Amino acid sequence: MKILLADDDRVALLYLQDALRDWGYEVVLAHDGATALAILQGPDAPVLAVIDWMMPGMDGTDICRRLRAGKAAHYTYVLMLTARTETSCIVEAMNAGADDFVSKPFNIEEIQVRIKAGRRILELEHELRHRATHDVLTGLHNRGAIIGILENELARHARDKRPVAVVFGDLDHFKRINDGFGHQAGDEVLRVVARRIDAMLRPYDAVRRYGGEE
């Protein structure tokens, strides 16, 4: 897993970098807020960030606010570091969009368990997002997801007038499989068919299961 570390204190940054690498994380460094935000909003961005509050230019809360205001492809979990420990500061950081908070000087074991807690949240978020957009049986897109994709394609078509194709397919005599071999066998057939169709698509095509065998 890739983690962004942002701190203007180079000693703290190197110390944390060593620890994170020892724990098996891939580390991306930023020495200021603007760089940190650019990395988090860039391609292949880390999903977890450890960010110092006090940095020249854009500070930690600015980064959080901009991240939360943007339309991100995935959630970024933010662990904020700061020497300020008053409750009002914690409230300010959380209100800005930070997920968790560790005070400086920090204990490295505390950082480790806080990052683990963040990973649990991210894994759950990933799973929920997948379940919300995919068919449980086949792993293909579900109704809501495919309608969204179709709407995007139609909007693109309205602009560039290139054709959009929708293919409707059906497994003939599928009932015979269910009747002859049972529904578990039928489910397995659907999974295999889904996998084969999915393997033949171009990266920008999308497929969903419509009805039982469609």
Residues binding Mg ion (CB under 5 A): 8, 52, 54
Task: Name which of 52 and 153 has its Cβ closer to Mg ion.
Answer: 52
The β-bridge partners of 80 are 51, 101
Task: Name which of 52 and 99 has its Cβ closer to Mg ion.
Answer: 52
Closest CA to 36 of 21, 51, 26, 14: 51
- Minimum distance of Mg ion from residue 30's CB (angstroms): 12
- Minimum distance of Mg ion from residue 38's CB (angstroms): 18
Task: Name which of 100 and 187 has its Cβ closer to Mg ion.
Answer: 100
- CA 41 vs CA 22, 57, 63, 124: distances in Å: 26, 17, 10, 22
CB-based closest residue to Mg ion: 54
What's the rounded Cα separation, in Å, for the pair 18 and 184?
50
Structure tokens that stand for 69 in this block: 């205001």
- Minimum distance of Mg ion from residue 53's CB (angstroms): 7
Give the residue ranges of DSSP H helices in 49-182. 60-69, 87-96, 108-133, 143-160, 174-181
Closest CA to 46 of 19, 73, 15: 73
- Minimum distance of Mg ion from residue 55's CB (angstroms): 5
Task: Name which of 7 and 99 has its Cβ closer to Mg ion.
Answer: 7
